[in-house]
Amino acid sequence: MILLPAVDIRGGRAVRLRLGDFDAETVYADSPLAAARAWVEAGARALHVVDLDGARSGEPRHLDELRRMATELEVPIQWGGGLRSLDDVSAALGAGADRVVLGTAALRSPELLDVALELGGAERVLVAVDVRGGSVSVSGWTERSEVSAEELVERLEARGVERFVHTSVDRDGTLEGPDVDAVRRLATAMRGRLVVSGGIGSLGDLEALRALGLTNVGGVIAGKALYERRFTVAEGNAALERSRGGAPTPR
């Protein structure tokens, strides 16, 4: 299990939202590249980067930032936000993303998902399972569907998806801890691998996820907790690695 520091981009700056609310924004760095570089220099082995403007508008807005990160930083980059066409997916992979995260497109355009899987392969395509109030949210967390996380994952695994990112929108940016029960339910109901996000606020939260002993939970995303120095990247890495007694690879 690895720690993935989050870099959320809005208006050209590194920010964090609270509960997915675009009106509840905190700016942490004027340069997303500088924020990403700081996490890498602190020991991050991979990054989770989200184009918030893209997620809201429906098309990528910050691929130039991705190119700079991919050129200057030697760690895998997991990139999402506004990837709703094959051209968008291809552009993100071409700009240097090691993996792309599809959200709205995976739920509303299964044919696009199929082609994306053919283009990038199941190793390089993740699907976002963003949950608010028990149902999956789409369109940059601004719309709620009637589909549960378990239903969505079952449907998508049947189409060949092997990797997912689960975010508890109700806890995102609150530092109040992850929804451990929801993670347990989803991970045990699926065959693929899962990255967890939302609510991480302490080393204890990382240890609680580690303690689940779920071998298909491969990573944890942390944003606000790192920016506000609740723990360091090195401490987070150590907390997650203790489950296996050694350092895992980010890929």
Instruction: Give the pTM.
Output: 0.91
Query: Is-catalytic flag, 21?
Result: no
pLDDT, one tens digit per residue, over 113-122 is 999 999 999 9
The span from the CA of 217 to the CA of 119, in Å, is 25
pLDDT, one tens digit per residue, over 71-101 is 999 999 999 999 999 999 999 999 999 999 9
User: What radius of gyration, in Å, describes the C-alpha atoms of the chain?
Assistant: 16
pLDDT, one tens digit per residue, over 214-245 is 999 999 999 999 999 999 999 999 999 974 44
Contact residues for 118 (Cβ-Cβ < 8 A; gap 6+): none
Nearest to 149 by CA among 170, 166, 126: 166
Walk me through the domains of the chain, giving residue ranges and CATH numbers. 2-241 (3.20.20.70)
Q: Which of 51, 88, 130, 172 is catalytic?
A: 130
- Encoding tokens for residue 98? 């090691």
Query: Is-catalytic flag, 170?
Result: no
Residue 169 vs residue 246, higher pLDDT = 169
